[in-house]
Chain A
């Protein structure tokens, strides 16, 4: 049953976006109740706009009636950032998926927010260019969502995260006004950097409707090495040595023994089950750079105790090495029905210590935790495996999450490298940032969205 206030505006919303794009059936509300976490909450309605003007008109209605609006891409977030916990309206941007322009002279592309990230990356790749931000969901997440959460990915070690590529945005403010910020000038210190205030704002400040990103020339060659370490500590030393060597790897990924076992169980790739860590390291550049780089990497791995090092030469061999890393997250559902994937980030020198502390948490709280991540930038993804139907187990999950965040902060790190805060990390924000920084964010939120309609309750609660 719809709330009377909402019933009254359904007709108005239908006249804006069209009858079939206002969804209110229980079936549709179920489908827009979740993201890629274990949490869910049904909205009261789903509105699917086709263009910026429609977004503007919808927000004018929502602001007037004080109805919560939760912007959504493809619902693959990992922090419950697009779940409508307070009800209201989910606003998917998925129908707005046009690639508007590729400006090869300036090496920039402009697209509507709902474009699938890999569609944009593929389009520039066809002409020999490279859009580097590559969250593992790049084939099933939107560019707008990537910007709103400042998504990272494996390539970010060398090439940076989504925010480093965003040049300009078109957004709709809470009251429906349309604002364009940024531009194609690569240097621009005119006023506050509103583009990068909006990047990572998780839909709490405005609805992103159009994005201009820059892209770069594609590297001509890549080489990938996989190194197997009997001891985790030795893998840790290798990470620091590779980063100090001047090679500049594009990716430096780690899988610990729990992740190795989970993937091996799923794909039967022949991974060793008697080792504590596998590192996967990639170099790029022209052919000579990539080869020289990987030779240095192999040497460092051997010196630091790697039992076995394999180098992929062909694309197929390289894909085979990456398959294990890319399949971890998905393989976890085979072990337990629910997973909580964390995204802590620590100084890269602290990776071995952090892994050891995660293992302690796993033992103390008696919960399986699978550890993998982007070791080169200190961004780890400990995944706690559990069954949501077991209340007692859920309590232990809560406690384990607190333990993990405290440990990350203690070793000099923070809560999230690339997933964002959403709701799941909200209780720990002050611990990570301090009360003054949280208060300043409160003030920014009030200035942009006085009625608190945009994704309310995400990142922090208004005080």
Chain B
């Protein structure tokens, strides 16, 4: 069988995925890529049409086809509004896996995959540098010396570990843990990429390998809980690892996002806040909100800060607008990915705030990068940064 035949065969076998599309066009109203480009081929409806044309032997699979189907944030906004129940994410996972096997993954994404496999992280740096962010903290984080007695393992993630602009997120979170007396562990260079970028590129087996490694590394700390600040790592651990690893290793591990742990610390009175009279908008990241259903924990934390007024932008909760940082799009088409955050920044300005609070290092990087480039006066902070800024008391390190 040729690649084309293989892919067409696979797509015929999943024809119920595309037959549901009645081409109403509702997805065009929410797709960030379509709203920016206004090109039908890049819209969710267009992608389903291409997939269908291949399944019906009406279109050859080639580089252009691959390119159109990789031009997606995988934000799932289309799935949320689709009245027919078309699951574009399921279609694209299938297509990307087929394209990867057929040798049609775009080069930039193939290089990303190779980097992850060889270096263990997305940046390609020596994985031993994963604790670089701890170097300029005033006190050494207690989590570095946990001697197998920790309650919570903190899985930092590639971006926060290796991109200096994101260091302040793990730095804030460990200081919050110390203030609140959380017994935590850092796993340092034993951590590998969570596997999400591999999965987005269609590399299921490679994703399974890193998943197994990471679960073993966390279990070795003796922790019964694992926490991530990165929503993509969280979504992988919480929803995909159990599917990839069917050996029950995850059964006794509670998987938490930073927003959940901070919300419970605030609720239990282990974190108390100084007033901050300010108006902020909370930006739901796709992986944490729409895909994982965590909307209220971060809002509860913000509302526990006296004087802080929380406002909602035009698109919020399930209908939140992707920052532009999803789906490996930035790796594949940086020009397009960089144009996307403008709409979100404008939505913040429209509701009269200069502050967007996120709980995702990728949203922070994408939105603040765009604000800087476009000279838009909106400041973007991670929830951990806000909490550390307003938390009372000293770290009892």
Residues of A bordering B, CB below 8 Å: 23, 25-28, 30-37, 48, 74-76, 92, 94-95, 97, 114, 116, 118, 137, 139-141, 266, 327, 329-334, 337-339
Contacts and interface: CB of A to CB of B under 8 A. Distances in A.
B59 A337 contact: no
Interface stretch (B4-12, B20-28, B217-225): B20-28
Given A26-B59, A31-B49, A76 B40 contact: no
Contacts of B39: 23, 31, 48, 94
Given A27-B64, A30-B58, A266 B83 contact: yes
Interface string B41-58: 101001001100100001
Contacts of B82: 330
The 7 closest A-B pairs by CB, nearest first: A330-B83, A333-B84, A94-B38, A139-B29, A31-B41, A31-B46, A333-B22
Given A114-B38, A140-B29, A334-B85, A34 B24 contact: no
Given A27-B41, A28-B41, 15 more contacts: A30-B50, A31-B39, A32-B41, A48-B38, A74-B28, A75-B25, A114-B38, A137-B26, A139-B26, A140-B24, A140-B27, A141-B25, A330-B22, A332-B22, A334-B84
B23 A35 contact: yes
A339 B19 CA distance: 12
Given A27-B50, A114-B38, A137 B19 contact: no
Contacts of B68: 27
16 contacts: A28-B41, A31-B39, A33-B49, A36-B24, A74-B25, A75-B23, A97-B38, A137-B26, A140-B26, A140-B28, A330-B24, A330-B26, A330-B84, A331-B83, A332-B84, A334-B20
A384 to B, nearest CB: 13
Contacts, number: 97
Contacts of A30: 41, 46, 49-50, 53, 58-59
Interface-central residue, B27, B28, B41, B83, by most chain A CB under 10 Å? B83
Nearest to A267: B83
A334 B53 CA distance: 20
Contacts of B59: 26-27, 30
Nearest to B28: A140
Nearest to B38: A94
Interface-central residue, B25, B40, B64, by most chain A CB under 10 Å? B40
Contact of B24 (A32, A76, A97, A337): A76
B65 interface: yes
Contacts of A92: 38, 40
Contacts of A338: 22
A27 B23 contact: no
Contact of A32 (B22, B40, B53, B64): B40
Contacts of A48: 38-39
A27 B24 CA distance: 19
B178 interface: no
Nearest to A137: B25
Nearest to B40: A31
B98 to A, nearest CB: 16
A278 to B, nearest CB: 18
Contacts of B27: 140
Interface string B71-83: 0000000000011
Contacts of B28: 74, 76, 140
Contacts of A332: 22, 84
Nearest to B85: A334
Contacts of B41: 23, 27-28, 30-32
B65 A140 contact: no
A145 B19 CA distance: 26
A145 to B, nearest CB: 11
B60 interface: yes
A36 B29 contact: no
A327 B84 CA distance: 10
A338 B24 CA distance: 11
Contacts of A140: 24-29
Contacts of A97: 38
Nearest to A93: B38
A37 B53 CA distance: 16
Nearest to B18: A337
B215 to A, nearest CB: 37
Nearest to A116: B29
Interface in B123-138: none
B259 to A, nearest CB: 26
A92 B68 CA distance: 18
Interface in B59-110: 59-60, 64-65, 68, 82-85
Contacts of A116: 29
A36 B27 CA distance: 12
B49 A34 contact: yes
Contact of B23 (A36, A94, A334): A36
B14 to A, nearest CB: 14
